[in-house]
Structure 1
């Protein structure tokens, strides 16, 4: 493979990688859309802003990668003169072949090193920016609040099920076998059976009117069968279902306790506003692990 073919091959690999990243981003965006209720205008607007930002960041990064690859390509005129200059030499010479192989290998290493350096610089810049960002400050505050209680954050995936997965994790720690699917279906059933307790708090995003019976039934069906995001209404239903108080720890607000009438061991969740692109997210907690514990 000559130098021109090598460069062409590198460009093809990069473009293939970028196409794959675009597909992965589209899948992530679809998951983000599914996790936000259609009637939540505020979060849908934030979702649109976040999607635009994610797409713009990827497009900018892809342009930078292509520019970096273009800069690493050898000047074609120089390559032609080199090729023409050696046509009269013995191309089968072992020394010449060895020199050619070493040169190509070195160029590949140099190109790889340049791309890694650029990536490291981007990571360093992002880390510096994050130190003063809302996400970092929120995480610091939560870490401190939890450490006082000898707890730490247990990370939960951001897939629309986070609140239910966090509760599922807490229940497993208490030897309760209820699964995410159980929690969702029981929450929907409880809300249907106690509609008068929940309907006044659910309104149509377009008309601002209280949900009709049909809209309420659709809401309950989505709660049971889709990755619809759960909030305070669902936590209220779950506290009654589990006969347990549910604590919600936040960075910038006092502790919220739902189901204070119950005396059993509380379920403790962490509510984060800046954890991911969409902002709102629930994590679980686990006992704090310290250096001495590891030892």
Structure 2
């Protein structure tokens, strides 16, 4: 058995980049399908197929250019038999948000396959290489088709979560107000609640004087949270993994997501009880503090979502039914 020829460093680098591009595309496709609804699923599937085909064709052209061939005549997925094998991870579905995959599908020369020297003219070697590539390309396409079929049959976690949330709305007399998923959703949802319930956005405790009229509502809520934390740093220091100044700057000036710490600060700053409804029916209550608790504190309601938006965790405003 003849030893396989060494892979030139330039080819190896090209193959490393191709593998990374294939893995990145799998991640993009997985994310797109997670976000797709029943109405948009067909369009998303078509787009994913187009992205896969474009990647195949572009990588084939790059290989052709490297070999000095005409890139316009290069078939997708075709490689010289002496180049490194391309390792592809094909996503075949998701269960509770965790991807299952068929790993290490090889497109290129098999490890134990003998490198057959050219014996009968230049055409013979090329035909054998094309036959092997065609066979492996067919195996790849079959696995992709299987992945798409299994993904289509997986439970739609987004739709299930929305359905379960809606089942609880009547119990609490609320309807959902969709908030844009842009990193400011917690603050925008609180702003919507305060305004629609006639409570206003002026906090009880305000450390810094801001030109509030010029700030968007979600920004005013961000400043209210930061001001409260700044006024009582010892109450929140145990929740921080970075210096106070850095933490406050992220709240005031960036699109950093808000969480439980910011909700505690806002409950105290505005003197309201914040109720957070989950899809399983659980309601987390965040109290405004001892100086307000028991004095008829106003309530606001937020809906917490884990699967319904591409960025991850998300808050919507739950308005009281008129």
TM-score by length of 2: 0.47
Question: 180, 184, 189: which one pairs with 2:222?
Answer: 184
Contact 1:138 1:274 in 2 (8 A): yes
Provide the residue aligned with 1:225 in structure 2.
Answer: 253
Q: 1:275 aligns with which of 297, 303, 308?
A: 308
Residues 145-187 of structure 1: per-residue CA shift (max 9 Å, x gap): 1122222211000000101110111111123442212111121
User: Which secondary structure does the structure 1 equivalent of 2:276 belong to?
Assistant: strand
Deviations 1:192-242 (A, max 9, x none): 111111111122xxxxxxx3xxx2211111101111100010000000111
Residues 50 and 278 in structure 1, CA contact (< 8 A), matched pair in contact too: no
**Does residue 1:174 correspond to 2:197, yes or no?**
yes
TM-score, structure 1 as length reference = 0.52
Classify 1:154/1:129 alpha carbon distance in 2 versus 1 (closer, same or farther; 3 Å). Answer: farther
User: Which structure shows the bigger proportion of residues in strand conformation?
Assistant: 2
Aligned partners of 2:168 and 2:281 also within 8 Å: no
CA distance in 2, matches of 1:50, 1:163: 27
Deviation at 1:127, TM superposition (A): 12
Task: Extract unaligned runs of 5+ from structure 2.
Answer: 1-25, 34-43, 56-148, 202-216
Out of 150, 155, 170, the residue aligned to residue 147 of structure 1 is 170
Distance 2:176 2:54 in 1: 39
The alignment yields a C-alpha RMSD, in angstroms, of 3.2
Q: Which segments of 5 or more consecutive residues in structure 1 lack a partner in the other structure?
A: 1-48, 68-124, 204-210, 290-295
Contact 2:29 2:48 in 1 (8 A): no
Q: Hey, which of these two has a bigger chunk of helix by percent?
A: 1
- The DSSP-based 3-state class of the residue aligned with 1:167 is helix
2:240 aligned residue: 202
Residue 231 of structure 2: aligned partner: 193
Deviations 1:73-109 (A, max 9, x none): xxxxxxxxxxxxxxxxxxxxxxxxxxxxxxxxxxxxx
Taking structure 1 as reference, are residues 200 and 265 closer, same or farther at Cα in structure 2, changes over 3 Å only? same
RCO comparison, higher one (Cα < 8 Å, 6+): 1
